[in-house]
Amino acid sequence: MKNLPRILFAILLGSIPLMGIADTYTDLEERVVEHELPNGMRFLIFERHDAPLVSMVITVRVGSVNEVTNKTGLAHFLEHLAFKGTQTIGTTNYKAERKALKELDAAFGAYHSAKKQGADSVTVVELYAEFKQKQERASGYVVQGEFSEIYERNGGSGLNASTSCDYTDYYLTLPSNRFELWCAMESDRLANPVFRELYKERDVIIEERRMWIDNNPYGLLYEELQSIAYKAHPYGHPVLGHLSDMANLSRQDVRAFYETYYVPQHMTAAIVGDVDANEVITLIDAYFGRIPSKPDPPELITTEPGQPGIRRVLMKKGKSPRLYMLFHTVPAGHPDELTLELLSIVLISGHSSRLYRSLVEEDKIASNLYLARGNFTYGGYVYLAGSPMQGVSAARLEKAVLEELAALKENPITQEELDAAKARWKVWYYYPIASNSSMAFFLSWYDRCKGGWRELFDRVDEVDKITCQDLMDAAERYLDPDKRTVALMEVEDE
């Protein structure tokens, strides 16, 4: 009798069919206009006339994965410097400024070498004064902040950029009548960037690292997890870079990295909003067509070898234990990616999910549980983060998570669980297209870093084909407890 209401509601709700949403996606897919320039740069345009706004995202397939020892943090540093202007924006006289920048870099080099080689303090102080004097001179040609100021004066919102291990995004929303401004500004910075004010901006990114990592216990813990998860692949180093590398990055480093990796055939721009696709294409051809073709960047050869055993790190800090657990999975675009998404939902999303129900609701071991998937070009992962309830250690939570994963064998995933996961997946899947800015982001990301932009829409057909057995196979293949990487934060000793 206790379960009667539950059964009645299950019958009532079970009678309502799950809808097919593929039609909506087909309609949306057909509205995307694709355009490619002779230099290889790609554009995706989606007209949406609800408000007089247009959102743009440029995705460049370059990230920290392209960095080498001594030069970590370079992709992110370049992203910052890309806001410093061009040969025509941010300067009063580029020709004179270029000369001043050369002298400045020479002065910095002399100061830096003297300091490193242990020159006497008088020499170091003199060279430093020379460097500051040259810096002052170069600054004299700079129109500080002009690049962002032009956008802001024109109502630009959300002006920013981000760097990940695989790609770098530049994004902005503008009043739609100013779309041409974006074409002029972005094509100029992609073709003619000037990495001015470098030494000051280097201090800024070091402050950024301090904020996210060095002064943040959970940032530090994540960095540790990342570093032990990879022994060969550059995914193991932080996107922000190691402090010692960051402090030594030079203009030559940035320029060489830009010349090698900022190639038009590795760039996609998505434009979503109140624009006319034909007019957009005319402007794109004129402005972005001037970006010269470049050779393909070198291919990354290093592959991460299979993980032979458990890797773990333990930190003791503060009073809030934390568990991070990572399993290597598949690269972006792999057929198992979708199966892993559904498996993640079964395990941790919604109140009926296995880990939530068991560890949060019943045993009250976890306060919060979070599971993310890293969909990366050269190999992804499933990553679980958990905060134990007060009085519970991170190690105890780790044990409980492993027990739940082991229980999958005795209690296989049911059709009911799979249906619920698919339903949740479909509701979530509307998120990427709900707003102009998110749609622009997902279109360009799928196009440049996954299996192409159409995958954003086509995956909805694939999800219905996945079975319970697929999920069980994926759990066995990828969530192997003997190949886990774990970072634990336990309470600091008194």
Partner 1 sequence: MSRKIALLLFLLPLTWGIAKIKGPRSMEFPARLEFTPHQVDRFSLSNGIQVFFVEDHEIPVTDIYFLIKAGENRVPADHAGLADILADVIAKGGSNQVPKDVLQDSLDRFGASFTGSAGTEQATFKLHLLSEHVPALLPLVVGALRDPALPQNQLEIKRGKYLTSYQGRNDDPRSVAPRIFYKLIYGEDSPEAREVTAACLENITTEKLKKFHQATYRPCHIMIGVKGDFDPKAMLNLLERCIGDWPEPDEETHHEFSLYIDPADPGVYLVHWPGSVQSNIRMGHPSLVRSDPRYPESRLLAEVYGGSWYSRLLHQIRIERGLAYVVSGSISTNLEEPGVFRGVCLTKWETTLEAAKLMLEIISDLKTEGITQRELELARSSWLASFPAYYAEPEDVMSDRMNYAEHGYPIDFWDQLPDKVEPLTREDINRFAAEFLEPEKLIILVLGDTTSFDGSLSELGEVQIIDPEVY
Residues 416-475 that bind partner 1 (CB under 8 A): 416, 419-420, 422-428, 430, 433-437
3-state secondary structure of 491: coil
Give backbone dihedrals phi and psi of 407, rounded to 5 degrees, phi first.
-65, -15
Q: Quick one: angle between helices 179-191 and 146-153, nearest 10?
A: 170
Contact flag: residue 375 with partner 1 (CB under 8 A): no
- CA angle, 446 as apex, 441 and 451 as ends, to 5°? 180
Considering only the stretches 124-132, 211-219, 250-258, 464-472, report the one whose residues sit in contact with partner 1 under the rule CB under 8 A. 211-219
In this structure, the strands spanning 322-328 and 381-388 are antiparallel
> Is 199 within 8 Å of 138 (Cβ atoms)?
no
Closest to partner 1 by CB, 159 vs 402, is 159
Give backbone dihedrals phi and psi of 55, rounded to 5 degrees, phi first.
-110, 135
Query: Binding mask 298-327 vs partner 1 (x if CB under 8 A, - otherwise)?
Result: -------------------xxxx-------
Q: Which residues contact 462 (CB under 8 A, 6 or more apart)?
A: 338
CB of 7 to partner 1, least distance (A): 9
Considering only the stretches 105-113, 210-218, 222-230, 459-467, report the one whose residues sit in contact with partner 1 under the rule CB under 8 A. 210-218
Distance spanning both ends of the chain, measured CA to CA: 52
Distance CA 85, CA 148 (A): 9
Considering only the stretches 62-70, 278-286, 306-314, 372-380, report the one whose residues sit in contact with partner 1 under the rule CB under 8 A. 278-286
CB of 350 to partner 1, least distance (A): 4
Contact flag: residue 197 with partner 1 (CB under 8 A): yes
Of residues 63, 73, 156, 238, which one binds partner 1 by CB under 8 A? Answer: 156
Distance CA 320, CA 445 (A): 35
Q: Which of 185, 156, 159 is nearest to 170 (CA)?
A: 159
CB of 184 to partner 1, least distance (A): 5
Contact flag: residue 39 with partner 1 (CB under 8 A): no
> Is 446 within 8 Å of 452 (Cβ atoms)?
yes
Of residues 112, 290, 334, 483, which one binds partner 1 by CB under 8 A? Answer: 290
CB of 471 to partner 1, least distance (A): 16
Of residues 34, 47, 128, 175, which one binds partner 1 by CB under 8 A? Answer: 175
Does the CA dihedral 153-90-74-380 come out positive or negative? positive
Of residues 106, 204, 406, 407, which one binds partner 1 by CB under 8 A? Answer: 204
Residues 43-72 close enough to bind partner 1 by CB under 8 A:
48, 50-53
Of residues 202, 233, 237, 459, which one binds partner 1 by CB under 8 A? Answer: 202
Distance CA 177, CA 150 (A): 15
Contact flag: residue 236 with partner 1 (CB under 8 A): no
CB of 163 to partner 1, least distance (A): 14
CB of 155 to partner 1, least distance (A): 3
Contact flag: residue 248 with partner 1 (CB under 8 A): no
Of residues 26, 70, 88, 133, which one binds partner 1 by CB under 8 A? Answer: 88
- CA angle, 310 as apex, 307 and 313 as ends, to 5°? 115
Q: Which residue blocks in 86-216 are alpha helix, DSSP H?
A: 94-116, 121-139, 146-153, 179-191, 198-209
Contact flag: residue 395 with partner 1 (CB under 8 A): no
